[in-house]
Amino acid sequence: MVVHPVTVVALETSHRAASVAVRHDGRTASARLESSRAHASDLFPRLEALFQELGARPSSIATVIVGTGPGSYTGLRVGIATALGLARGSGAALVGVPSGETLVFERVAPGREAVYLLDARSNELYFARYRRTPTGVEAVEPPCVLRPDALAPRLPPDLPIFGDATVADAAQLDPAARARLVADAVPSASALLELGLLRLAERGPTPPDALEPLYLRPFAATQRKR
């Protein structure tokens, strides 16, 4: 009996610096999306290029892993819609992974903890605290939205802080906390692929109707000033 190699796809679109990764027949390739363009414009062309590079076909997709945020509303919508479409078209298993968990999995040693802190705008922050385990990541404090004045009691003095370019000011971080801030850390699709496969083996697939972005609050449209 001929056993055909399967393909795993990972999509991490919670940040402007989004990325995609594909594993096929034991080989993995990844690519960044152009941050200055809409994710919807780049996603499929980048995936197609990776499939060609690895000699994979869409019919061989067995697992689709997607970052669920929090982060860019538009990016998350595009990534999750794409993941659902790929899974429905190929019959693949779906796995949703919070984006902060992917970052901690890639950047933190087992047994250590880190804070994930993003500027949520409107004087609010996205906050989570994670512990890296030998086989994955666990949430010490799950993702939530809080105000800057509520942050200090939940911010341990010795943990690294993974954030974005504007969060230091948005969170009103003191000098000691700013020194621990890693503002250029972005979850990668390559790390998401590895963590997603571990999560799939441990917990099974994510039901399609349960795969939702971690918006953490209602979407609030803003009107442009003329």
d(CA 141, CA 154): 9
Question: What is the model's pLDDT at position 224?
Answer: 40
Angle in degrees, CA 203, 208, 212, rounded to 5: 90
Token representation of residue 211? 């795969």
Kindly report, residue by residue over 202-221, the tens digit of the pLDDT: 999 999 999 999 998 765 44
Asked whether 15 and 75 are in contact (CB, 8 A), the reply is yes
Question: What is the model's pLDDT at position 184?
Answer: 86
pLDDT by position in tens, the chain (length 226): 445 689 999 999 999 889 999 999 999 999 998 765 556 678 999 999 999 999 999 999 999 999 999 999 999 999 999 999 999 999 999 999 999 999 999 999 999 999 999 999 999 999 999 999 999 999 999 999 999 999 999 999 999 999 998 999 999 999 999 999 999 889 999 999 999 999 999 999 999 999 999 998 765 444 444 4
Strands (E), the chain: 7-12, 19-24, 27-32, 61-67, 93-97, 113-121, 124-133, 136-146, 161-162, 181-182
Asked whether 181 and 173 are in contact (CB, 8 A), the reply is yes
Question: What is the model's pLDDT at position 112?
Answer: 98
What domains are there in the chain, each with its CATH number? 7-99+186-210 (3.30.420.40), 108-182 (3.30.420.40)
- Count the neighbouring beta carbons within 10 Å of the beta carbon of residue 206: 23
Kindly report, residue by residue over 140-177, the tens digit of the pLDDT: 999 999 999 999 999 999 999 999 989 999 999 999 99
Q: In sequence order, what DSSP letters do the residues of 143-164 get, joined into one string?
A: EEEE-GGGTGGGS-TTS-EE--
